[in-house]
Structure 1
Amino acid sequence: MKLLIADDDPQLVRALRITLAAHGYDVVAAPDGAAAIQLAAQEHPDIVLLDLGMPQLDGVQVIHALRGWTTVPIIVVSGRTGSADKVDALDAGADDYVTKPFQIDELLARLRALSRRAGAGAGEATVAFGDVVVDLAAKSVARAGAHVHLTPTEWRMLEHLVRHPGALVTRQELLRELWGTEQATDTGYLRLYMSQLRKKLEADPSAPVHLLTEQGRGYRLVL
């Protein structure tokens, strides 16, 4: 599996290259945002590890650029610990967020999880509820035959529910899926994104029949 590391810290890149190569990863590296975009186009990596604070283009700009043409999984590896930075990166299209300093075992676990998720998406059939059709492989949503635009976070929330139809998805599980931690206590974001999904996908957002709330517990998708 090929990894692209985009980071302007040569010591960290060298250490990651040695460690990840020892675990069977083929590593290519870019020292700035512009080089990261160019290498991604040339090398077609399976996963991108991306720092936010880089020369040329910052990490969020790189994410936006990559999401214009690829769905490659992106893990942000950053020393920025603020929730605003994390939300900006995830909303731009990052799949996970790891805060520096980190344990290599944690990073390896995140890589394995993203690898499984990417593999699970390959060849998946579409899932329909009401007049909505969700194409997991193409990462697209249509309602009554018309394309529905979702933000990256809205998509990840819907995708997780679609992959567990009928099952209760707890708030902690969704927090971990969307923001990389189950320690977060602010579930206001979950309510906000669920409200937005209902406005886009439910016939009557005030009386949903598919995207349901289990009060005090989490959410459930009823097909």
Structure 2
Amino acid sequence: MSARIGVEILLVVGGLDAANQMQGLLEHLGHHVRVAATVLEALSLVETRPADLLIADSRQLEADADVVFRVLGRRQPPLLILPLAPASLPVSAADVDRWRVAVAQAQTLLAQRDGETLQVGDLVIDTATKRVTFRGQHIPLPPIQFRLLVYLAQNRGRVVGAQELLKAVWGYEGDEAEARELVKVHVRQIRRRLGLEAQHADYVQSVRGFGYLVSAPGRES
């Protein structure tokens, strides 16, 4: 299966400003977004056109939990739910960063659910079979390094910071020093398994002071 271009998203967030900003961010990332005023309205939209992901204010999800799970229990494949803490007023840069990371995590889960093939130059990742091929050779990776490489490949062409990787791949938040050290160790091991030398690390690149970038040398990713 080829890589999905965008995710079908239903968005339910309180406040017009937050909804507009988040819709703009998601569409800029290549996703298809429909906005609903309530969770119940969003679920009715699912019946007319399928969606992959429901992003909703956690308070609204709690209020309508019984209906949500009754409706979702009938759907195949299931609709992935991403609860979000309410945004600040006005919406802050921290809110936008939090949204970006959360949606990227959800996209990783969807890829694992559906089976997605990611290709960056000679690097091919099959999320269904958990198989990595580089320059025609199968490259076995342990689970944490596989998830790290998948996340970077899904964000190919964008520099991803160590703290974002820590939250998205390991599932918790830590300070910058801890994140940098942990990610650095695993990136080094991924490069070694791919046969890339650190000083000429095409495909999995370090951007000093900012994070890591996956891209194919001399090609569009």
Provide TM-score, normalisation by structure 1: 0.47
Select the structure with the greater relative contact order (CA < 8 A; seq sep ≥ 6): 2
Provide TM-score, normalisation by structure 2: 0.48
